Structures are given as C-alpha cells and as structure tokens.
Structure 1
Amino acid sequence: MNYIETNITDVFIVEPKVFGDDRGYFFESFNQKAFEKHVGKIDFIQDNESKSTKGVLRGLHFQKPPYTQSKLLRCIEGEILDVVVDLRQDSTTYKQSLSIVLSGENKKQIFVPKGFAHGFLVLSETATIAYKVDQYYAPDYDSGMAWNDEEINVDWGINADEIQLSEKDKGLKPLSETENPF
C-alpha cells in the first residue's frame, strides 16, 4: 500500500496495490502493521457500511469528546466526493478542507483522524461505502456542521437543489454557530 500525505497534517490517502487479471482482482484493503508504520497506532473497533443514491450528501459529521472517532473510509461500489474539514483549533490547517474522489474503480481510501468533520456526496447512481472507526457511535455526542458553510466554502461540484439531505443534516449550523470541542 502507498500512504500519501496530504496538505492537511495527519490526513492520509491510502492507495492499495491491486493485482488483476482476466479473472478479476485482489488487493489488501487493510494491514495493521503497515498502517501503524505510516499513520500510527489506531485501534479500529467497528466496521460500518452504507449505501446511498446519487445526490445524497451525508455530513459534515463528528463526535464530541470523549467519543471522538478516527475513520478509514473507502468506496466499494460507485463514486463519491469525500470531504474532511480540520476542526483542530491549534492546527495550522484549522478550517481547511480536503476533497477527494473515492470510487470502486480507483480503490483509494482516506484516513480521517479525530478532530475533523467528515462528509461525502454520492456522484454515481448508487455508492456503497465501508469504513472502520476507533470509537463506537455515541448519539449524545453526535454533532456536525452545515455542508454549505460559507466560511469553509467546500466546492461540492453540484447545485444545491440536487443535494439530498437527512432531516438531521438539514438542521446543522455553520461552524461559527457550532460548539467546536477541538
């Protein structure tokens, strides 16, 4: 696997080595030893999977302490625009975002450390996303910020009227109006 540093400290893009032939393909999607060598010790405790349709935007979410989460995310089928926003107030990249297309075809993954808001937009007709987390979901500590926060200014590459949001995500506020525990 190739671990690629990004312009935001502690966020990594992970590119697997894919071995393919006329029968199909094989790749190692996770290796604890290699992960620790490049990223550090993270104890993933749960694997999650979701499937969504085109235009669904999930995010931008985070969990507050003491239930903060790190994630290792990939798109198994379809294509998504994955977005992270640095919420670490002492970071030199505070309030900066990073966007990457993840797909079943490119097989890239993104590591999102604690202290970040995370979300994704489905670009294909459907997309299946799988991700590892190092903390269980804690509904009382669930939080997030508005996907269209003007100060953060994420370019989702889609018209707002094409986006499908959950009721919860419709109620999220800009970061300036959100408790940021990081």
Structure 2
Amino acid sequence: MPQHAFTAAFGQSRLVGKDATIQVDAVRYSVPHALIEQSVWVRFHGDGPIVIAVIEGLSAEAARHTRSTPGNPRIDDAHYPEGGRGERVPTPTTPAEAEFPALGSGAAPWLQEAGESGVRRVSAKMTDAVALAKLHGIDAIDRALGTAATVERFAGADLNS
C-alpha cells in the first residue's frame, strides 16, 4: 500500500482562502474554517460539489453544497466559528469609495443590494455616482441610488437615467 492516498481520484485541488472558501467555476463555496490555507479537492457529483480534505492522514468529506452560478456564492454558516462569519462591514479602498456613503441614505441600501445581487464593477459604479453627485447634486443622486436599490437596477446606465 502506498504511504499517501492517490489524491487525483478526489477531484481538482484547490487552496482554501483566508475567508474559508474555495472557488470552482467562478463560484465561491465555503469549507470548515479549520481548513484555511490548506489544500482540498473538489469534484461534482449529482447536483453539487463535494469537497474532500485529508485530515490526520485520512481523507474525509469536508463540505457538500448545491451547485451555484457565478455571483451567487454558497456559504454555510456552520463552517465558521460560533455558527457565522459575523457582521461584514465594507472597507473603502479609494477616495471615491470613502465619499460614496456621504451621498445619503440611498447609498447603503444600493451597496447592500448590489452586493447581494452579485453586481460586477461595483467600485466603478460608486465612482460614477460620486462624480454624478458633483454635477447634479447629492439629493438627486441619493434618490436615484435609493430607487435603483429598490427596483434592483444596477447596470452601468441605470443611475444616469
């Protein structure tokens, strides 16, 4: 018998990120937090991925999810300490991102809904909103952000219209 398991039978290897997730086909799937920065294997079986880890020399199923699509991560709160990841607070990384919340009460719901909907290029859209506020005034952009969040309109030209 070989000393180590023949891991190719487990599927494709992935490295678990610091957020206890792996990415497969552009979708994030959570795994138990104890596997952070370790290699795991994933394969699709039936309607979703199965994640295999080698723990103390033995292979075992670490996680199982239903299949998802890009922009719709599958996160299981049981994979995190105390049953959840806690409150996630966005941290601005550019001056425009820091100015965005000051646009008014519509900014926070817009950002929340955009994140939950898997909107791409959110940072660029936030920068556009800040620029539009300088041209048209904060009140108009605040109303537009609130309306866009309510009706889930996040395309590039939606805020302009």
Q: TM-score range by the shorter chain?
A: under 0.3
Q: How high is the TM-score relative to the length of structure 1? A: 0.25
Q: How high is the TM-score relative to the length of structure 2? A: 0.27
Q: Report which of the two has the higher share of strand.
A: 1
Q: Report which of the two has the higher share of helix.
A: 2
- Structure with the bigger RCO (C-alpha within 8 Å, sep 6+) is 1
Q: Which has the larger radius of gyration?
A: 2
